């Protein structure tokens, strides 16, 4: 089954404690992306990757890092999380001009 998986699905952490949210896709897609969803703001792109070792900033990259060492994986790293990064995070992947497939989301709470 074609899918994008994210782990963990739910995470509560404290300010400053580094965390990683994993994202994996099994469709051999070149393009992967991270979004955050906040009430009233829709989805905003954090980072995206056009292929292995090729990443670029989206609209709200501050406080986040990403890496793309393998085609299937695109982890999101918060080196020093802060409460304003409390949000619902989605990973997505696509190929060429096709629409993006979204993962189930990760709800992060930073206290």
Beta-carbon-side half-sphere exposure of residue 46 (alpha carbons within 13 Å): 25
Q: How far is the CB of 1 from other proteins (least distance, A)?
A: 14
Rounded to 10 degrees, the C-alpha dihedral 26/29/34/39 comes to -80
Could you give the CA distance from residue 97 to residue 21 in angstroms, rounded to a whole number? 26
Q: Where on the chain is the footprint of other proteins (CB under 8 A)?
A: 31, 33, 35, 40-45, 48, 50, 59, 90, 92, 94, 96-105
Q: How far is the CB of 18 from other proteins (least distance, A)?
A: 25
Q: How far is the CB of 17 from other proteins (least distance, A)?
A: 26
């Amino acid at each position: 089954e074609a899918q994008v998986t994210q782990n963990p699905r739910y995470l509560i952490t404290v300010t400053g404690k580094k965390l990683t949210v994993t994202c994996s896709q099994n469709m051999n897609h070149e393009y992967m992306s991270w979004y955050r969803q906040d009430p009233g703001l829709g989805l905003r792109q954090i980072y995206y990757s056009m292929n292995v070792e090729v990443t670029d900033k989206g609209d709200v990259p501050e406080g986040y890092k990403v890496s793309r060492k393998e085609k299937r994986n695109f982890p999101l790293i918060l080196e020093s999380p802060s409460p304003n990064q409390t949000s619902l995070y989605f990973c997505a992947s696509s190929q060429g001009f096709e629409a993006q497939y979204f993962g189930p989301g990760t709800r992060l709470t930073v206290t």
